Chains A and B, each alone.
Chain A
Amino acid sequence: MMTFLRDRKVRDVLWQAVATIGMVAVIWFFVRNASDNMVKAGIASGFKFLWRDSGIEVPFNITGYKPSDTILALLWTGIVNTLLVSAASIVVATVVGFTVGLLRLSRNWLLSSLAGFYIEFVRNIPLLFFVLFWYFGVLAALPTPRDSYDFLGVIFLNRRGLSIPTPTEVTGFRLALLAIAILVATQIVLARWARARQARTGRDFPVWPVGFVLCGALPLAALVAAGFGTNWDVPSLRGFNYRGGFVLVPEFVALFMALSTYAAGFIAEVVRGGVLSVRQGQIDAARALGLTPGRVVRLVVIPQAMPVIIPPITSQYLNLIKNSSFGAAIAYPEIVAVFMGSALVATGQAIEIIAITLGIYLTLSLAVSLFMNWYNARHRLVTR
């Protein structure tokens, strides 16, 4: 018996069997309790509630959601709002983070201490403070609708948000989008050709200026034509507020500012670590070749730092997406606020709603991880 137990393979199987049985038992125990408790308490269950009318107002949405839509549509609006604020914040946090991280390494002592101060300030205070600070700070700094900041009589900024005109007809803008796509495509083709040529002949080619000369005017012309060819829904003061156009609400602005400044502090540290991992000899060699400091950073330092930077920066992006749930604290209508907040209270179906919410976040996290892994694999330096 003892020798049998000492056999490694047998023990492996036994261990795994014990672990599996244990886990299944625990899960079964919880599920059974939950169903018992729910039947006993007379709580409704199932996913039918998703097709009920929601009746919940969402003041900020780009999905065209109305309170007469279903709870499923409400959920979709929440997801879109989460993605919107996350995407915007990720872009800005990356730019600010890289800037601060590089400034932290500046030769100028004052500049690098200021960057260091920013990093230490942001990293050591809970995000909730920043969210509340930006929200109430933004509200306090802006004027009432009657005293709005007015830009050319069509854009208005006040405590209710930034009101911008929207076109009533969008065909012209589809054309403009097409023109932008043409421009981008030209740039890509040009860049490829230029790189190939540089590899062959060593000569530089001004991709950006040439590209813009070739078809830079196209989108501009299309935009102007579309702008004049349609009617605009211009915001105007009616009673209490500006009506019409699109309103960027202060909740969005506050959450966006909080998330991007907070994440920037963490990204800056990652960037600093990445840059420090590049050997000094590389930089010296690049300088010796006569590259400008900007080009040294862009062509030598950053590409070599990237493999070190990408994995931790990925987890910062994931954190940022998860942190967008802090929007619930200031009434920004993202998933947690509209679904785990409003919809949960309206329907009382806690288990289903929490399960769906967790599922959505897991999917988002997984998607970003996969994308960044793919990106990392593509951009990994071929060494040796």
Chain B
Amino acid sequence: MKTAPALPGWIAMLRQRLFATPMDAAVTLVCLYVVWRISVPLVDWLLLDANWQGRSRDDCKSSGACWVFIRARFGQFMYGMYPGPERWRVDLLGILIVATGLLLSWRGLPQRRAAVIASVIVLPPLGVWLLYGGGGLSLVETREWGGLMLTLFLAVYAGLIAVPLGILLALGRCSRLPLIRFASVVFIEFWRGVPIITVIFLASLLLPLIMPTGFNVDRLARAVIGLAFVIAAYMAEAVRGGLQALPEGQTEAAQALGLGYWRIQRLIVLPQALRIALPAMTNEFISLFKSTTLVLIVSIFDLLGIAQAALADPAWVGMNMEAYVFAGAIYWFACFALSQWSRLRERQLQAAHGR
């Protein structure tokens, strides 16, 4: 009697993972069919039948996507109405940020801690100066900003305000002092309880009314402030999670050493709590990044807004799918990368804690 020859490893694995039981096999076949039915027309439209070459709508002859539209409008999708000769400033800032990020993530960097603090202090104002101008550079007003650069600006600067504010709020919420705790809770729950769309309305319609006459806050700055408050409230909850994960003994030991409140927080509590809260904070940042699309309702042209504006161009009528797919893909890649990074951190953290 002959035994059946041993199957090669991958077939065995395939069998175990996809065709373990008749039921499994049926499910696998149904899934394959669904995937095939969806992906074939999708790939056709996206790639195989798509139009890549040309200058105008008439060049799009085949049935697939008209990527010519994206090519023709690419500059606008990236920079909005930012004047062409000045766009190098945006690029330079982008390169600077990426380079700094890479440099700082290199563990062997001497004085890494100081370098991080220095770049956090120097880069944001430098960025505003590069983008907005003044002091040698020609002025580019925020109404000319748009597209992806505006989306990134909104997310990054709102995030820069939200993180410290969120930390303060979280400390406030965990504070001994009842009044401070109460104020923090009210602030956090208020901003968490209302939709971002109303916050953006609030910032855009109400902020000018509650400021002294003649004191105008820039349109974009208003949106940044509105978004920052909401995200700060969410960040605060993420940080609070980190604070609560710390054992009581840490603070008590520090107090026994005679350290004051702020020093305990700065040296002992926050470094640990923030490390624990980082994945959660990243997730809040992702949701902030996605929420920036809402600024288009107050006529600020972010990536989606500029896509819609481009669609209103009579020369390119009917390019809705192309514009949305392109913009959607950018959001997807950015958010996906961030969430993967956050998951990686989470796993490292768990490994470090031996869990």
Contact = CB atoms under 8 A, between A and B. Distances in A.
Direct chain A–B contact by Cβ atoms under 8 Å: yes
Interface of A: 12, 15-16, 19-20, 23, 30-31, 33-34, 36-38, 40, 107-111, 114, 120-121, 123-129, 132-133, 136, 318, 322-323, 325-326, 328-329, 336, 340, 350-351, 354, 357-358, 361-362, 365-366
Interface stretch (B45-53, B65-73, B327-335): B327-335
B160 interface: no
B27 interface: yes
Contact of A358 (B17, B176, B177, B202): B202
B265 interface: no
12 contacts: A16-B179, A37-B213, A110-B27, A114-B34, A121-B332, A125-B332, A133-B324, A328-B197, A329-B297, A350-B205, A354-B202, A361-B195
Interface string B18-52: 10100010011001101100000000000000000
Contacts of B35: 110, 114
Contact of B197 (A40, A111, A124, A325): A325
B143 to A, nearest CB: 22
A30 B202 CA distance: 14
Contacts of B251: none
Interface string B210-251: 111100000000000000000000000000000000000000
Given A33-B211, A126-B290, A340-B201, A322 B194 contact: yes
A111 B198 contact: no
A328 B327 CA distance: 21
B18 A109 contact: yes
B20 A107 contact: yes
Given A340-B198, A351-B209, A125 B193 contact: no
A365 B198 CA distance: 14
Nearest to A34: B210
B339 interface: yes
Contact of B304 (A120, A121, A128, A323): A128
B212 A125 contact: no
A127 B213 CA distance: 37
Nearest 5 CB-CB pairs, A to B? A124-B335, A365-B193, A322-B195, A109-B17, A16-B179
B316 interface: no
Contacts of B180: 15-16, 19
Contact of A325 (B24, B28, B198, B336): B198
A362 B193 contact: yes
Interface string B335-346: 110010000000
B206 interface: yes
B312 interface: no
Nearest to B324: A129
B20 to A, nearest CB: 7
A124 B332 contact: yes
A365 B192 contact: yes
A323 to B, nearest CB: 7
A34 B294 CA distance: 26
Contacts of A128: 293-294, 304
Contacts of A110: 18, 27-28, 31-32, 35
A125 to B, nearest CB: 5
A33 B208 CA distance: 10
A12 B198 CA distance: 36
B72 to A, nearest CB: 22
Contacts of B335: 123-125
Interface string B100-119: 00000000000000000000
A125 B183 contact: no
A152 B34 CA distance: 31
Contact of A114 (B31, B190, B211, B332): B31
Given A107-B20, A129-B324, A34 B209 contact: yes
A40 B183 CA distance: 32
Contacts of A336: 195, 197-198
Contacts of B294: 128
A128 B294 CA distance: 8
A358 B290 CA distance: 21
Contact of B328 (A40, A108, A125, A351): A125
A323 B294 CA distance: 11
A103 to B, nearest CB: 10
Contacts of A34: 209-210
Given A340-B201, A357-B198, 10 more contacts: A108-B28, A121-B332, A125-B335, A126-B331, A132-B324, A322-B194, A350-B205, A351-B206, A358-B198, A362-B190
B299 interface: no
Contacts of B331: 124-126, 129
A141 B198 CA distance: 32
Contacts of B194: 322, 358, 361-362, 365
Contacts of A328: 197, 297
A325 B18 CA distance: 42
Given A34-B210, A120-B336, A108 B18 contact: yes
Contact of A33 (B18, B20, B212): B212
Contacts of A33: 209-213
B291 interface: yes
Contacts of B350: none
B23 to A, nearest CB: 9
B234 to A, nearest CB: 9
A136 B319 CA distance: 13
B320 interface: yes
B27 A108 contact: yes
A31 B290 CA distance: 32
A325 B197 CA distance: 7
B320 A136 contact: yes
Contacts of B18: 108-110
Contacts of B202: 354, 358
A350 to B, nearest CB: 5
A124 B335 CA distance: 5
Contacts of A132: 324
A365 B32 CA distance: 42
Given A126-B290, A128-B304, A361-B194, A38 B332 contact: no
